[in-house]
Structure 1
Amino acid sequence: MMIRMVGTVQRWLLALMIVCYLLAAVVPGPGEVLRTLALRMLGSGGSVTMPMVLLAVMLSTAGLGVRMQDLRAVAGRPLRLASGVAVNALLPVALLPVAALCLRAWPDAAEVECLAVGLLLVLAMPIAGGAASWGQNAGGNVPLVVAMIVGSTLLSPVTVPWGLTVSAALVGPAGGGAFVLALIVLPCLAGIIARAMLGERRAARTAPVIKLINIVNILLLCYINASGALGQALSHPDPDFLILAACVAGAVCCLSFLTGRWISRWTRCDTPDGISLTFATGMNNTSAAAVLAASWFAHRPQVLLPILAYSLLQKLAASLFGTRPPAPPAAQS
């Protein structure tokens, strides 16, 4: 019963996310209240907000889905693993200068800065845990995707502070880099360790419940993050910037997927590995980027808009790139 319910919710996840966006636009009040809830940390100037807690839960449940034997299975193919992690980490360096050149003619420099920071935060994040699910549905090499997710998460001590540093240089101080690093990396590692301690049998029994908790968590985080940005966007409408954010985020998202597909062909990956590399390159943890933007760039709420647009559009792009490829003629005969 639980497995069927989780499968049904997963099939309708994109539609449910759109409903969360619409709900955040129409009824933003509860989301704004939840977003402002915070627990101050003793002995430090920081505080833990509700989105931070939800993000930590999401990353820890992603870690619970990592099986060590799957990671060992791809250890013998380090080139595929390294190429996926490296391409995902280097995407900001390749794509953002192109986007900046295209936006030079835009008359409002402040809007361009917010757009650049939002995209930079997204591209600096680790590979999204959902890449494993999308890759599996498309016939990809799931252990390879999982290994790439873990590898990019472990690389986040380099990519996330770099993204925060560049972002702060553009739109003002961000602060809290070390705390953000702990918020992203430690929950995922805690989930991996917890699964190893539980053992495969008990982990398999609890998997449907964990997946359902993760789905509810993702939808709630989507609603809370969207409530702040969409509420302010509707109260002070700027149609030009909304259209610009959606168009640029969509273009960068499609370029990310296409880059992964091109790299997979250039390295002569087989079909499952190519699918895995495409999704690992194209999908980033937008929830983490939204939490960072809402927490450390609250003085520039427009930073959230391209992140929310990217979050939705990367799901649409994944559905377009996620069609299971036809079997080769030799396999069909």
Structure 2
Amino acid sequence: MASIDSSPREVQVGVAAWAHWLHRYFLGALLATYLLSGLLPGPGSVIREFAVTFPGGHQERASMLLLAVLLFCAAAVIQWSQINDLLERPWVVVVGLLTAWLGPALVVLAFGPLLPWLDMHDATAGMMVGFAVVAAMPVANSSAGWTQNAGGNVALSLALIVLSILLSPVATPNVLKLMGWALSPDDVERIEKIVTQFSGSKFILWVILPSLAGAAAAWLAGQRRIARAKPWFRLITLVTILVLNYANASLAIAQIWTGERPMVILIAAVMATAVSLVGIVLATLQARLFGLSRPTWIALAFGLSMKHTGLALVLAGSFLQDQPRVILVVLLTTLAQHIAAGVIDLYVQRSRK
């Protein structure tokens, strides 16, 4: 923090200007990132597979480190009054958690009877498995970065992330059972074991610790220094989101261009978009029914429309390697929910004007 606080004013102004410019045109930058991933996917694949070795020999992919950066930046600029609001109205978190799982599950249940009409049984079977896995996932870590960047209730966003991952060993298998035709009992049991492992040491390391570190940095630096550093946090958050999307999109584009049928891609894209749209609609209904503030709606809109597709990829890669369309569905959902997040961010910017 000392280096940020003591940097020349010209640098501070420059960083603030770049952060403002990138935020203003972020949706366009996001779409350009996807275009770049199709034209030049190589560096994205390198980012996805690059592993950092920690003392003791433990390795972790760079993507997890980037997610930790998003959580750190979000926690560092949190407004403590927002935590008081959550303590006074904990039901906002409870309702948000319920709809975060039930909303996408309803999308899967609605599309299930419709897909056989398309007479594409060989394609739709794998797609339904993929969307069942996505629907059962907790809230995406990256939603905190979007919330922080849009001026939303960061405390609520972090609460949705932490609690949904903490509850995922119980919630994920039960949501999958709700969509029972999609997966066998053996697959559900495997998911439960993997999610339980994720919610143990990895949960503590990559969710709790970055959030606590950001909050501690904010407390040690003080309100004035954090206010001066906000443009840095904003710029770092925006760039990190673009890098993560470039890495994920590089894998998705490579799979789409391997000869998948256009109709399969179209159906998967429609379902992926529906998952995000249902989350936005449910967030808006909650905000209007309960008279919630705009920052709270922003946090709910991002949280309910973004699923932890990184964990979904881990699960799919562990026991569904023989169904490549499951991976395709997860990757398309990742792209769709970040485009939806970009649209939400653009709407928030214009509504302020």
TM band (smaller chain) = 0.7 to 0.9
**1:12 and 2:45 correspond:** no
1:31-55 CA deviation, whole Å, 9 max, x = no partner? 22332233578999x9522323322
The one of 66, 82, 95 equivalent to 1:70 is: 82
The one of 128, 134, 150 equivalent to 1:116 is: 128
1:248-275 CA deviation, whole Å, 9 max, x = no partner? 222232222222223334x342563773
- Please give the secondary structure, in 2, of the residue aligned with 1:217: helix
Task: Report the CA distance between 1:78 and its aligned residue.
Answer: 2.5
User: Which residue of structure 1 lines up, in the alignment, with residue 16 of structure 2?
Assistant: 3
For 1:296 and 1:203, locate their aligned partners in 2 and report how far apart those are by CA, in whole Å: 42
User: Which residue of structure 1 lines up, in the alignment, with residue 284 of structure 2?
Assistant: 261
**Aligned residues: CA RMSD:** 3.8
Task: Single out whichever of 286-295 and 228-237 deviates more from structure 2.
Answer: 286-295
1:1-333 pair list within 5 angstroms: 1-38=14-51, 48-109=60-121, 111-123=123-135, 124-126=137-139, 128-130=143-145, 132-133=147-148, 136=151, 142-143=152-153, 146-159=155-168, 162-163=171-172, 166=176, 169=184, 176-181=194-199, 182-184=201-203, 186-198=205-217, 199=219, 200-201=222-223, 202-265=225-288, 267-270=289-292, 272=294, 275-276=297-298, 279-280=301-302, 282-285=304-307, 288-289=310-311, 292=314, 296=318, 299=321, 300=324, 301-315=327-341, 317-318=343-344, 322=348
Task: Single out whichever of 178-187 and 72-81 deviates more from structure 2.
Answer: 178-187
The residue type equivalent to 1:262 in the other structure is L
For 1:4 and 1:192, locate their aligned partners in 2 and report how far apart those are by CA, in whole Å: 27
For 1:52 and 1:168, locate their aligned partners in 2 and report how far apart those are by CA, in whole Å: 27
Task: Report the CA distance between 1:218 and its aligned residue.
Answer: 1.4
Change (3 A) 1:291 1:59: farther
Change (3 A) 1:43 1:231: same
Question: TM-score when scaled to structure 2?
Answer: 0.73
For 1:134 and 1:206, locate their aligned partners in 2 and report how far apart those are by CA, in whole Å: 13
- Please give the secondary structure, in 2, of the residue aligned with 1:101: coil
The runs of 5 or more residues in structure 1 that have no matched partner are 137-141, 327-333
- Please give the secondary structure, in 1, of the residue aligned with 2:139: coil
Asked whether the 8 Å contact 1:59–1:184 carries over to 2, the reply is no
Question: TM-score when scaled to structure 1?
Answer: 0.77
- Please give the secondary structure, in 2, of the residue aligned with 1:235: coil
Asked whether the 8 Å contact 1:37–1:50 carries over to 2, the reply is yes
User: Which residue of structure 2 lines up, in the alignment, with residue 329 of structure 1?
Assistant: none
Task: Report the CA distance between 1:234 and its aligned residue.
Answer: 1.0
For 1:233 and 1:71, locate their aligned partners in 2 and report how far apart those are by CA, in whole Å: 43
Task: Report the CA distance between 1:132 and its aligned residue.
Answer: 2.4
Asked whether the 8 Å contact 1:25–1:227 carries over to 2, the reply is yes
Task: Single out whichever of 71-80 and 217-226 deviates more from structure 2.
Answer: 71-80
Change (3 A) 1:196 1:223: closer
Change (3 A) 1:186 1:272: same
Task: Report the CA distance between 1:9 and its aligned residue.
Answer: 1.0
For 2:98 and 2:319, locate their aligned partners in 1 and report how far apart those are by CA, in whole Å: 27
The residue type equivalent to 1:180 in the other structure is F
- Please give the secondary structure, in 2, of the residue aligned with 1:314: helix
The runs of 5 or more residues in structure 2 that have no matched partner are 1-13, 177-181
Change (3 A) 1:24 1:276: closer
For 1:161 and 1:41, locate their aligned partners in 2 and report how far apart those are by CA, in whole Å: 31
Asked whether the 8 Å contact 1:264–1:277 carries over to 2, the reply is no
Task: Single out whichever of 178-187 and 20-29 deviates more from structure 2.
Answer: 178-187
For 1:273 and 1:3, locate their aligned partners in 2 and report how far apart those are by CA, in whole Å: 22
For 1:53 and 1:229, locate their aligned partners in 2 and report how far apart those are by CA, in whole Å: 21
Change (3 A) 1:100 1:224: same
For 1:297 and 1:212, locate their aligned partners in 2 and report how far apart those are by CA, in whole Å: 38
- Please give the secondary structure, in 1, of the residue aligned with 2:257: helix
1:97-121 CA deviation, whole Å, 9 max, x = no partner? 1122222334444533443344445
The residue type equivalent to 2:242 in the other structure is L
Task: Report the CA distance between 1:290 and its aligned residue.
Answer: 6.7
Task: Report the CA distance between 1:196 and its aligned residue.
Answer: 3.5
Structure 1 ranges of 4+ moved more than 6 A? 40-44, 323-326
User: Which residue of structure 1 lines up, in the alignment, with residue 4 of structure 2?
Assistant: none
For 2:60 and 2:351, locate their aligned partners in 1 and report how far apart those are by CA, in whole Å: 44
